[in-house]
């Protein structure tokens, strides 16, 4: 599934779908890998 198809299904912009996936990936990585998943820049 691409960002464009997600945006089309939910009626939002492609950028919004990309932002949601990035945020969810960050949250899930913390649950899966613990504190090691937090990257401090």
Please state the domain count of the chain.
Answer: 1
Q: What domain range includes position 22?
A: 3-37
- Global pTM reads 0.64
Residue 3 burial class via C-beta count within 10 angstroms: exposed 0-12, middle 13-18, buried 19 and up = middle
Query: What digits encode the pLDDT tens for the residues 1-41?
Result: 888 898 899 999 999 999 999 999 888 888 888 877 676 65
């Amino acid at each position: 599934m691409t960002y464009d198809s997600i945006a089309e299904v939910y009626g939002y912009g492609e950028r919004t779908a990309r932002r949601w996936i990035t945020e969810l990936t960050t949250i899930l990585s913390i649950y899966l890998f613990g504190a090691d998943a937090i990257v401090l820049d």
